[in-house]
Chain A
Amino acid sequence: DTAVSQTPKYLVTQMGNDKSIKCEQNLGHDTMYWYKQDSKKFLKIMFSYNNKELIINETVPNRFSPKSPDKAHLNLHINSLELGDSAVYFCASSQVAGPYEQYFGPGTRLTVT
């Protein structure tokens, strides 16, 4: 059973398009995250939700909009995609908000052409 799953695994799209990435966790965790990993493997947090409530919103362009319909799901919608958005996006979850271990999904490799 997959603990944290993401769809799609790969996403190739053109500049200016709008796309969404979905994430689901079946661990019963309260907190979910979106990370962006660039080509140099640097992991940067973008957002965090705790029980459907946004608790972390880093300096991310407002073209990125997360949405959590329930605590097991966290989606990421990106408007007007730009070349610089190309990266691997990881969803993660932890039992509760705080300095606890995080479980990562398999990642979505987004390529903007």
Chain B
Amino acid sequence: GQQVMQIPQYQHVQEGEDFTTYCNSSTTLSNIQWYKQRPGGHPVFLIQLVKSGEVKKQKRLTFQFGEAKKNSSLHITATQTTDVGTYFCAAPRSNDYKLSFGAGTTVTVRA
């Protein structure tokens, strides 16, 4: 079945620095979603990308969908302690629309 591969698994960032997490698929995706889970919390929907090459911004977060719709990235600029958590990408399977979640990128921030 379709899988979305997410890298890196862990990201240790100095406060104020930028970082990027990537999500890759071997098949074309109809859309891709991003979720954030704070430590001890539950996944919270951030955004959905649908169009090829689409770029969306939420304050310091920039989400991109690849031209071939097989990959996506989340770039965070000027990381803050509030960015700590695990970021998941998720994409629907073509046969039943079930969301397949990536393994997540767990972000820690050094003050």
Chain A contacts to B: CB under 8 angstroms? 40-45, 48, 55-56, 90, 92, 97-99, 101-107
Contact = CB atoms under 8 A, between A and B. Distances in A.
A104 B44 contact: yes
Contacts of A90: 42-43
Given A43-B101, A99-B97, A105 B106 contact: no
A97 B37 contact: no
Given A41-B86, A45-B98, A106-B42, 4 more contacts: A43-B88, A55-B96, A97-B97, A101-B45
Contacts of A92: 43
A41 B99 contact: no
Contact of A105 (B42, B45, B97, B99): B42
B98 A48 contact: yes
A102 B42 contact: no
Interface of B: 30-31, 33, 37, 41-45, 48, 86, 88, 91-92, 96-99, 101, 103-104, 106
B23 to A, nearest CB: 14
Given A41-B37, A42-B104, A102 B98 contact: no
Contacts of A104: 42-44
Contacts of B33: 99, 101
A102 B104 contact: no
B90 to A, nearest CB: 8
B21 to A, nearest CB: 14
A96 to B, nearest CB: 10
Contact of B99 (A55, A99, A106): A99
Given A97-B97, A99-B31, A101-B48, A43 B43 contact: yes
Given A41-B86, A41-B106, A43-B101, A99 B42 contact: no
A44 B88 CA distance: 12
Nearest to A109: B40
Contacts of A48: 98
A56 to B, nearest CB: 6
A99 B92 contact: yes
A103 B98 CA distance: 14
